[in-house]
Amino acid sequence: MKKLIMANWKMQLTIKDSLELAKQFTKKISGDRNEVVICPDYLALPFVGPILKKTKLQLGAQDSAAFSQGAYTGEVSPQNLKTLGVKYVIIGHSERREHLHENSAIINNKLKAALDNKLIPVLCVGEKLTEREAGQAKDYLKMELRHALKGVKIKTANDLVLAYEPVWAISTNKNAKPIVPAEAEDIQKFLKAQARLILKKSVRVIYGGSATAENAAAFLSQPNIDGLLVGGASLKITAFPLIANN
């Protein structure tokens, strides 16, 4: 099975810059070796989508609402994302948990709404440095999974993806550095086992946290790492194609 490589552009680019970067990526990334997903911000989605349409690159969104439609000012419907050609949607990213105070109940509803609209949610889970240093990382991750996936039903193993992003390793954090690939492999194997108990399916688990062109191969060589969620490096014209074509 192909590895899943996702570019999370966050809120870093203008629409013009998003279009230019998307065009460059279609020239430099074949999409033959790995499944590659580009996640621009909301306003760039309807412009980036047509650029990717005739390529093997997929369109992803960085978030979606917990409801399909309704009186929810400022929210973006998963129904509308699907109409734009979005295939994957990131749910529960650590930055949204921290800065926008998303809790497990909200994330759980977002997962269900995304699945109801036939989007593939990418559920982000990851421990902070305090849990890691206390030796409680796996206990914390187990709890997060149980809360976020409560009542979630999937038909096939490809309907949902987990992204393990240790918060302390995300490149936007001060002094962040990626986890050792072997340790990431161990935790992702643990996450797969826990998800299988809850969902009764063996879902994919990708790694996110300071992934670069230099360390991507080491992560992707691990059997339980099914891909990468790439932040800062996904904004670089030379670095991301190296990762995506790895």
Residue 4's H or E segment, with its range, is: strand 4-8
Q: Which residues are catalytic?
A: 93, 165
Assigned token pair, 201: 């399916």
DSSP string, 63-125: ---SSSSSS-TT---HHHHHHTTEEEEEES-HHHHHHS---HHHHHHHHHHHHHTT-EEEEEE
Assigned token pair, 181: 């690939």
Nearest to 10 by CA among 123, 172, 173, 121: 172
Cα→Cα distances 161→4, 44, 52, Å: 10, 24, 21
Contact 108, 149 (CB under 8 A): yes
